[in-house]
């Protein structure tokens, strides 16, 4: 019974991680498009990320990263698929955090208040 809950939790975490990364990739794509579109106009193109949204993103991302590592440790050896999904979710959350941080500190972004 516990294995089913861990497997279900791992599937949900992978789905949430994919949606989160799609949002971050969309912002990166938007920033690159703005840079291309306004190249040669002085300051170039950039996007604006909200600081409050950034704090919410980091807080929820680290919370979900922690949940995925809990699922990873809770998986028994016979639930290899659930363990693999929890590991994938952890990697996706960590990758999203790194990508958002790189975007936030690049010249493609101007922080809004």
The tens digit of pLDDT for each residue in 31-76 reads: 999 888 888 787 677 888 889 989 999 999 999 999 998 888 887 7
Q: Which domain holds residue 107?
A: 2-112
pLDDT at 1: 66
Among 20, 7, 19, smallest CA distance to 68 is for 7
Q: Give 64's contacts (C-beta < 8 A, 6+ positions apart).
A: 13, 16, 17, 20, 89, 93
- Which tokens hold the place of 2? 């516990």
Q: 2-26 pLDDT, tens per residue?
A: 778 888 888 999 999 999 999 999 9
Q: How many domains does the chain have?
A: 1
Give the Cα separation of 63 and 22 in Å (integer).
18
Give the Cα separation of 110 and 57 in Å (integer).
17
């Amino acid at each position: 019974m516990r294995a089913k809950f861990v497997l279900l939790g791992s599937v949900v975490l992978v789905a949430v991680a994919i949606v989160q990364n799609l949002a971050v990739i969309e912002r990166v794509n938007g920033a690159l498009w703005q840079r291309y579109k306004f190249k040669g106009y002085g300051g170039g193109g950039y996007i604006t990320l909200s600081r409050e949204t950034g704090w919410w993103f980091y807080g929820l991302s680290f919370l979900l990263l922690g949940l995925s590592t809990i699922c990873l440790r809770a998986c028994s050896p016979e639930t290899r698929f659930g363990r693999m999904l929890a590991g994938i979710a952890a990697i996706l959350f960590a990758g999203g955090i790194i990508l958002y941080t790189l975007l936030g500190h690049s010249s493609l972004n101007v922080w809004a208040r």
